[in-house]
């Protein structure tokens, strides 16, 4: 079952012209007479002619499509980013091919191979949490594939990057907890190796230092898989609460983990914020409807997608390689709700 469309050749034979003439007429070349143009345009319009993008791609050596790799699209933060990406790509005539790594390094490598073989013009990627070796990305980058990193970026590759100000976001959240009277603030973070976790950890530590709260390394824990796997999160939480000096607040380092921790507390009948306060990174639209309404650090995901795409298209459409790369930093916003209410 195939779906056949009208071609320039069809128009040419129908009107007794050559394909070159038809092509030029449609592109409004000055070397075609006004009558011929009219004739061709009318026929094309009538038969709903659309240039074959595949033929164009082959000729122009560009596919007008960009690849996107994220860990998971069923995650508010990333689906909002994708909305931002699509909003720009769509306007500029690019289509977007989305792949999910599901936080697996292996899957990320496969995804990239696949995208490269689909001859994408450029790549937008937020690397998986498992990824510590970046050779697959370096190799593509060296071959000249335009790449823009967003959110989880790779320091060692020199290109545009769009990130959240993780450090300030974490700082503000931690300060907020300190000011509300919490003393033992735990930090459950994503993979220790990740760029994101490092920023968030530094903001957390700086806030404690600035307020003369001692840093207790036992209150800092990491989930290598970012809490995609609830069992992993549960293990880390159990370890955290098995300690003698228990935390009175938890600051969570990702959307999935924030929800997972909330689930953990509820299952253990821990009252929030009376027994334990909770603040976390989250872009859920419904954080205000949760029990309790959650204090979150919200990230400008849509803007991030937009900005990353704009930068990528700039590189793709640049006549000559530009070595002047941007490191664009977007602010995170603290939204205060019940889950971090002042200790009585």
Partner DNA sequence: TATTCACCCGATAACGATTGCGTAAAAAAA
Partner DNA sequence: TTTTTTTACGCAATCGTTATCGGGTGAATA
Tell me which residues touch DNA (CB under 7 A). Answer: 7-9, 16-21, 23-24, 26-27, 30-36, 49-52, 55-56, 58-59, 61
Closest CA to 207 of 164, 172, 180, 247: 172
Q: Which is nearer to a copy of itself, 194 or 284 (CB)?
A: 284
What is the DSSP pairing of strand 295-298 with strand 277-281? parallel
Stretch that binds a copy of itself, among 1-9, 171-179, 209-217, 221-229 (CB under 8 A): 1-9
Cβ pair 161, 150 in contact under 8 A:
yes
Decide: is 327 part of the binding site for a copy of itself (CB under 8 A): no
Instruction: Tally Cβ neighbours within 10 Å of residue 300.
Output: 18
Distance separating alpha carbons of residues 76 and 256, to the nearest angstrom = 10
Strand-pairing partners, residue 216, are none
For residue 21, the partner it binds in DNA, a copy of itself, none, with Cβ less than 5 to 8 A by kind, is: DNA
Q: Which residues, other chains included, contact 83 with Cβ-Cβ below 8 Å and sequence gap of 6+?
A: 301, 302, 305
Decide: is 335 part of the binding site for a copy of itself (CB under 8 A): no
Residue showing tokens 């590189």? 315
Distance separating alpha carbons of residues 49 and 8, to the nearest angstrom = 8
Among 14, 42, 73, 215, binds a copy of itself (CB under 8 A): 73
3 state DSSP class of 114: helix
Q: Which is nearer to DNA, 40 or 185 (CB)?
A: 40
Among 8, 290, 304, 308, binds a copy of itself (CB under 8 A): 290
Decide: is 31 part of the binding site for a copy of itself (CB under 8 A): no
Decide: is 57 part of the binding site for a copy of itself (CB under 8 A): yes
Stretch that binds a copy of itself, among 58-66, 128-136, 173-181, 208-216 (CB under 8 A): 58-66
Distance separating alpha carbons of residues 21 and 8, to the nearest angstrom = 10
Q: Rule CB under 8 A: which residues touch a copy of itself? A: 1-5, 50-55, 57-58, 61-63, 65, 73-74, 76, 79-80, 82-83, 86, 90, 95-100, 114, 116-119, 121, 140, 143-146, 259, 262-263, 266, 284-286, 288-293, 315-316, 318, 320-321
């Amino acid at each position: 079952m195939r779906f056949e469309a009208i071609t320039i050749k069809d128009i040419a034979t129908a009107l007794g012209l050559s394909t070159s003439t038809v092509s030029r007429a449609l592109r409004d070349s000055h070397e075609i007479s006004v009558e011929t143009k009219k004739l061709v345009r009318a026929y094309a319009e009538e038969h709903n002619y659309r240039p074959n993008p595949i033929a164009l791609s082959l000729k122009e050596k560009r596919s007008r499509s960009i690849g996107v790799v994220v860990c998971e699209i069923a995650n508010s933060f990333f689906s909002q980013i994708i909305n931002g990406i699509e909003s720009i790509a769509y306007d500029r005539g690019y289509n977007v091919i989305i792949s999910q790594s599901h936080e697996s390094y292996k899957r990320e490598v496969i995804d990239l191979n696949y995208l490269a073989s689909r001859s994408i013009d450029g790549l937008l990627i937020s690397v998986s949490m498992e990824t510590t070796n970046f050779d697959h990305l370096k190799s593509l980058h060296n071959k000249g594939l335009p790449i823009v990193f967003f959110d989880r970026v790779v320091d060692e590759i020199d290109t545009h990057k769009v990130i959240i100000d993780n450090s300030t976001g974490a700082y503000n959240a931690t300060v907020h907890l300190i000011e509300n009277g919490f003393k033992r603030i735990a930090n459950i973070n994503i993979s220790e190796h990740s760029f994101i976790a490092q920023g968030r950890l530094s903001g957390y530590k700086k806030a404690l230092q600035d307020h003369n709260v001692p840093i207790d390394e036992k209150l800092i824990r990491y989930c290598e898989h970012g809490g995609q796997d609830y069992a992993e999160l549960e293990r880390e939480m159990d370890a955290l609460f098995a300690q003698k000096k228990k935390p009175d607040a938890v600051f969570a380092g990702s959307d999935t983990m924030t929800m997972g921790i909330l689930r953990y507390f509820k299952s253990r009948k821990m009252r929030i914020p009376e027994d334990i306060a909770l603040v976390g990174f989250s872009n859920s639209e419904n954080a205000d409807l949760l029990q309790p309404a959650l204090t979150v650090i919200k990230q400008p995901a849509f803007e991030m997608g937009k900005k990353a795409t704009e930068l990528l298209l700039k590189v793709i459409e640049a006549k000559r390689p530009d070595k002047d790369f941007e490191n664009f930093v977007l602010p995170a916003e603290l939204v205060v709700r019940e889950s971090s209410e002042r200790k009585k």
